[in-house]
Amino acid sequence: MNQIIVLLIARNFVKNTFHSKAIYGILVVLMLTVAYAAYTGWKTFKDQNRMREQFQSKARESWENNPDKHPHRMAHFGSFAFRIKHPLSVFDFGLESFTGNAVYLEAHKQNTINFSEASLSTGLLRFGEISMAMLLQIILPLVVIFLGFSAVSSDRENGTLKIILTQGGGWKEILIAKSLGLFAVVCLVLVPVMLITFALLMESSASINVECLGRYAGLLVVYHVFIAVVCITTVVVSATSSSSKNALMVLLGVWLLLAVILPRTTQAVGSYFFPTPSKIEFETAIEEDVLREGDSHNPSDPRYKHLKDSVLQAHHVESVEELPFNYSGFVMREGEKISTNIYNDHLKKLLNVYEKQNSLTKFSSFINPLTAVRNLSMALSGTDFESYKVFQDESEAYRYQLAQKMNELQMKFISNKKLGPSDKPYVIDRHHWKEVPDFKPSFVSIGTSLKHEIVSIIALLLWCAGAWIVTDRISKKLKAI
């Protein structure tokens, strides 16, 4: 392959592209849209994180400012856990607008994560939000199509192609050069977007580390590879089409299929074959299983009466009052273990269903490169389903720790002696509330994120290799007429 010819043809393509005044209008509109997406992404990131950190601080302050109180009352007083947005969420909003960001934590009950943007917005949110990732995934490929649909077909129509071939240019050089020229033009949008993302990432200096830079580098590679594949595909379709009109119609059809139809179809198919229970069904099933294990708040419950007999026998005493610890706190601790295990079992089954739905979408990336890019983009931006699961697991672990800490305090400091009519209620000193650490959310490691997207990585690499192989084989079969 003659590199000089490739560079000459690529430079000529770029030059001809800028002969049209329309390209300037397209670039201006795109950059204005990018600026808007960057501004809204940054503002959302700063405002939401500031708000959530303030609420987390107020929740902690409210917890610590409780007066001397019975530990079990504190367990039911509970606290809140707020999810913190990842710095790269300024680039890709991912699922964060739909998964919620706050959960109320209390004893004996696992509440759902609430206050998602979708629940507080109109149905228009279903059409997507304008983020920089959305522009690169949906809008930029469309721009590539309009800039490159006639890259080769127009040369065939006006006779220029014969001249290039007779002057030493081969089909392989032409296809690669046109793809390279098209990629160079599109980089006028792609590169600024990635530079803006990097600038915003550096602006959030308090959160920047090697992990964030690694995620950014991953995004850089993913989107450059994706756009390169789109450019090569566009040029190949242009070269194999009988006219520029036919090339444009084919490319628009492919874009519509990959960007709109297939994603919606795979989601619908996944929900059909792997249905999930409603919120009411899910919570009812948990409640029924908990009731089968007994009611820890009911002293007459047969299961817990048997537990009482076993405890008394193990400690060689005749009554609860003789036990060296508070029996009610012990029962609450055992009941918390049982209800938590039941909830975790049901949640695991539900998440397995979601994983099956998501796996169908992931494997569709072998026929839709946009799906692979979207999955990798969300994973690297810390806005994917796995990031949501980590927050859910951390908040539940914190809830369990809080409840059990209160139960242990009750066992240690509350007497088994029943209160008389004139006795003051049992309480413990408020300084114990500070012994419970504050909730601190964390981000998924980049290794974990990429591990869950190995299918998408393989699919994108195959699309990259496939684009090169198709270019090589097509170049041996194409004709000037």
Tens digit of pLDDT at every position of the chain (481 positions): 678 888 888 898 999 889 888 899 999 999 999 999 999 999 999 999 999 999 999 999 999 999 999 999 999 999 999 999 999 999 999 988 888 889 999 998 888 887 666 555 544 445 457 899 999 999 999 999 999 998 888 888 888 878 877 777 788 889 999 999 999 999 999 999 999 999 999 887 665 788 899 999 999 999 999 999 999 999 999 999 888 999 999 999 999 999 999 998 998 898 888 998 888 899 899 988 888 887 777 767 777 788 888 888 898 888 888 889 999 899 999 989 999 999 999 999 999 999 998 889 999 999 999 999 999 999 999 999 999 999 999 999 999 999 999 999 999 999 888 877 777 888 999 999 999 999 999 999 999 999 999 999 999 999 999 999 999 898 888 776 6
Q: Which pLDDT does position 204 carry in this prediction?
A: 76
Contacts of 437 (CB under 8 A, 6+ apart): none
Residue type, 455: V
Structure tokens given for 13: 């393509």
Strand, helix or coil at 81?
strand
Structure tokens given for 349: 């089954």
Contacts of 59 (CB under 8 A, 6+ apart): 79, 80, 82
Q: Which pLDDT does position 124 carry in this prediction?
A: 46
- Cβ proximity of 86 and 382 under 8 Å: yes
CA distance 90 to 100: 17
Element (H, E) at 286: helix 279-292
Burial of 105 (0-12, 13-18, 19+ CB in 10 A): buried
Structure-derived torsion over alpha carbons of residues 49, 53, 55, 57, reported in degrees to the nearest 10: 180
Closest listed residue to residue 296, CA positions, set 288, 286, 307: 307
Q: Which pLDDT does position 84 carry in this prediction?
A: 92
User: Listing from the earlier edge strand, what are the strands of the sheet with 79-82?
Assistant: 79-82, 102-106, 109-110
Burial 390-425 (b: 16+ CB within 10 A, else e): bbbebbbebbbebbbbbbbbbbebbebeeeeeeeee
- Cβ proximity of 226 and 461 under 8 Å: no
Q: Which pLDDT does position 118 carry in this prediction?
A: 53
Structure tokens given for 257: 């299929």
Q: Which pLDDT does position 342 carry in this prediction?
A: 93
CA distance 394 to 279: 21
Structure tokens given for 353: 């269903």
CA distance 436 to 432: 8
- Long-range CB contact pairs, 477-481, < 8 A, 24+: 478/171, 478/239, 478/240, 480/156, 480/161, 480/162, 480/165, 481/156
Count the neighbouring beta carbons within 10 Å of the beta carbon of residue 81.
Answer: 25
Please give the backbone phi and psi of residue 476, each rounded to the nearest 5 degrees, phi first: -90, -10
Count the neighbouring beta carbons within 10 Å of the beta carbon of residue 477.
Answer: 8
Q: Which pLDDT does position 337 carry in this prediction?
A: 92
* Residue 69 DSSP symbol: B
Residue type, 223: Y
Q: Which pLDDT does position 158 carry in this prediction?
A: 82
Radius of gyration of the chain (CA): 30
CA distance 97 to 126: 10
What is the torsional sign of CA 24, 152, 13, 139? positive
Q: Which pLDDT does position 266 carry in this prediction?
A: 92
Rounded to the nearest 5 percent, the helix, strand and coil shares of the chain are 75, 5, 25
CA distance 159 to 267: 46
Burial 193-214 (b: 16+ CB within 10 A, else e): bbebbbebbeebeebeeebbee
Q: Which residues pair with 82 in a beta bridge?
A: 102
pTM of the entire predicted model: 0.90
